[in-house]
Amino acid sequence: MEGLGFTIFEGYGLSETSPVATFNLPGAKKTGSVGKVINQVEVRIENPDQAGVGEVLIKGPNVMKGYYKRPDATAEVVKDGWFHSGDLGYLDKKGFLFITGRSKEVIVLSSGKNVYPEDVESHYLQSPYIKEICIIGIPDLDHPGSFEGVKALIFPNLEKLSADGIANITEQIRWQIEKFSASLPTYKRVSGFSILKEPLPRTHLGKIRRFMVRETEMAGVPEEPPISDEDQRLMESDTAKVVLRALASMTDKRISVNSNLELDLGIDSLGRVELMAALETGLGVSIPQSFASEVTAVRDVILMTTEYMVGASGVEALKRPVSWGEILQKSPSEEMIERIGLKRSVISNASVMAAAWSYYLLARLFLRLEVRGIENVPPVGGCIVAPNHASYIDGFLIGGVLRNRLPMLFAVGFRGLFQGPLMSRAARWGHIMRIDADSGLSESLQASSYVLREGAALCIFPEGGRSVDGRILPFKKGVGILASVLNVAMIPTYIEGTLDVLPRGAWIPRLKKVTVTFGRPLTTEDILGLDYQQIADRLRERVVALSVPSSS
């Protein structure tokens, strides 16, 4: 408003304080504050916490005598002349008052710490992919009335996600949460979240109706609106029938033309790869890699595949779902094979080997690197090395420790970290295969399959990203797909100490001890009868076991 030329003076008060207690005056105002206490009025903070935040109490001739014919209600809020506002805030050293929330909304943790939802919400709203967020407490079953932590209900910025070509909404929100959690105290960090399909309930002034949020979270799936004639014709087309059969083989949830692939049907980035392969087989057409990031709802899938059908010979019946074996059997493009660089010159291999030895010696010298269980890594043949991930130096550390495996050691990394001429060259030189979880996942999986079939070791971080606090995150099922389809061993690996050496947001390493522990390989016999996610879960259990000192 001030940028448009308006002069704004903000104050604070309630009807009970007739009506203001503090005010920002001309020439003496502070952005974010509601001003200083006005003449003849007193304000104090009751029971302030370590940050100085407590309930705002007001005293003076502006405070009401009481509620009309409600002495009981008056006694609850006016005590010894002080009006208890129910608002939380703090006074800075210059006497400016800052309001942080409502006392009835504060989340009291079992540890005694107080979490003020609006503060935490403002922090996470820095993410361009989070449009709305509401912080709620996670009940502590052992301590009724208190909470063991906080979780978030998030309405994502679907327009921004779509504009950036991001189809895997849940994963993107997860990494945004982890990114912004790094700069919060541990007790304020979100330990879980749910994605909402509708905006949060709000008052006419834009405040979240927090008493309704729990109902919103627990509400069942809303009834689908009647389908239009146009959508009915779309769903009855031959192409739609193939699309629906493909989707029905991937989810047991109700499918409608408006269903969101991820939020309604639970189809993640790997599921989109399966869908693409199934449609190519069922429709006899070639579907571009960009399809995975461009489709959001079932309607999008039908309309786009209909476009691909122009000029095609016809629609074949999709008799069975396409298997991952068929998907991974395909060789990656010639361009991808060239980028992988499996066959390199002696000079190139010598350079990579020299770099790996450098990483190893530097880690031994400055980080007191200790390696355990190296005998569990086979010296030759295809295998998957699966470490936890907490720091950017983890990949370099694995390369140094497994230097004798070079040049037949490759790693998987996100394309976003290796963009531009310099980083692209560094990725190729360092045997890093860049993946795009939204638009190029199928080719990335085929590239991973290719190097494993060629007898290389492949380092995959199954968590899909770095942990904020060192806790081992759930493993993605991609590692289970590769291990199961290709019958290669998985080497559970635990890296300890790198979070202390180079945590999120830091650029200068600290000299702390690190340990790399390789566990007993998981072979075909160990995962027999398990589905892909169960294989990933079994692998994670092995990695977690390595983190326990007694098992080392």
Residue spans of the domains in the chain: they are 2-103, 106-218, 229-322, 334-551
Q: What is the pLDDT of residue 96?
A: 96
Q: Closest Cα partner for 14 from 97, 66, 88, 87?
A: 87
Whether the pLDDT of residue 223 is over 80: the answer is no
Separation of alpha carbons 394 and 402, rounded Å: 12
Residue 246: CB atoms within 10 A of its CB come to: 23
Whether the pLDDT of residue 283 is over 90: the answer is no
For residue 141, list its beta bridge partners: none
pLDDT band of residue 429 (cuts 50, 70, 90) is low
465 within 8 A of 413, measured Cβ to Cβ: no
Whether the pLDDT of residue 318 is over 60: the answer is no
Quote the CATH superfamily of domain 106-218: ANL, C-terminal domain (3.30.300.30)
Separation of alpha carbons 439 and 445, rounded Å: 12
Q: What is the pLDDT of residue 104?
A: 84
Instruction: Say if strands 370-372 and 515-518 run parallel, antiparallel, or are unpaired.
Output: parallel
Q: What is the mean pLDDT of residues 168-178?
A: 85
Q: Which residue has the tokens 């169960």?
A: 534
Whether the pLDDT of residue 439 is over 70: the answer is no
HSE value, Cβ hemisphere, 13 Å, CA-based, for 483:
34
Q: What is the pLDDT of residue 296?
A: 81
Q: What is the mean pLDDT of residues 504-517?
A: 88
- DSSP E strands in 78-183: the ranges are 78-79, 82-91, 97-102, 107-108, 114-115, 130-139, 147-156
CA-to-CA separations, 392 to 68, 220, 396, 466, in angstroms, rounded? 64, 41, 8, 8
Q: What is the mean pLDDT of residues 360-380?
A: 94
- Could you tell me what percent of the chain has a pLDDT over 90? 38
pLDDT band of residue 521 (cuts 50, 70, 90) is very high
Q: What is the pLDDT of residue 116?
A: 87
Instruction: Say if strands 130-139 and 114-115 run parallel, antiparallel, or are unpaired.
Output: unpaired
pLDDT band of residue 426 (cuts 50, 70, 90) is low
Q: What is the mean pLDDT of residues 271-285?
A: 78
End-to-end CA distance of the chain: 61
- Token code pair at residue 311: 């000029």
Whether the pLDDT of residue 315 is over 70: the answer is no
HSE value, Cβ hemisphere, 13 Å, CA-based, for 508:
0
CATH topology of domain 229-322: 1.10.1200
Q: What is the pLDDT of residue 427?
A: 65
Worst-scoring range by mean pLDDT, 26-30, 275-279, 482-486, 495-499?
275-279
- Could you tell me what percent of the chain has a pLDDT over 70? 90
Q: What is the pLDDT of residue 447?
A: 85
540 within 8 A of 472, measured Cβ to Cβ: yes
Q: Closest Cα partner for 382 from 452, 450, 448?
A: 452
Quote the CATH superfamily of domain 334-551: Glycerol-3-phosphate (1)-acyltransferase (3.40.1130.10)
CATH entry 2.30.38.10 includes domain 2-103: yes
Whether the pLDDT of residue 552 is over 60: the answer is no
HSE value, Cβ hemisphere, 13 Å, CA-based, for 521:
19
Whether the pLDDT of residue 281 is over 70: the answer is yes
Q: What is the mean pLDDT of residues 493-517?
A: 90
Worst-scoring range by mean pLDDT, 85-94, 335-344, 449-458?
335-344
Q: What is the pLDDT of residue 432?
A: 77
Q: What is the pLDDT of residues 132-145, one digit of tens each?
A: 999 998 888 887 77
Q: At what angle do helices 298-308 and 238-248 cross, to 10 degrees?
A: 130
Q: What is the pLDDT of residues 200-221, one digit of tens each?
A: 988 887 888 887 886 655 555 5
More confident residue, 242 or 62: 62
More confident residue, 257 or 316: 257
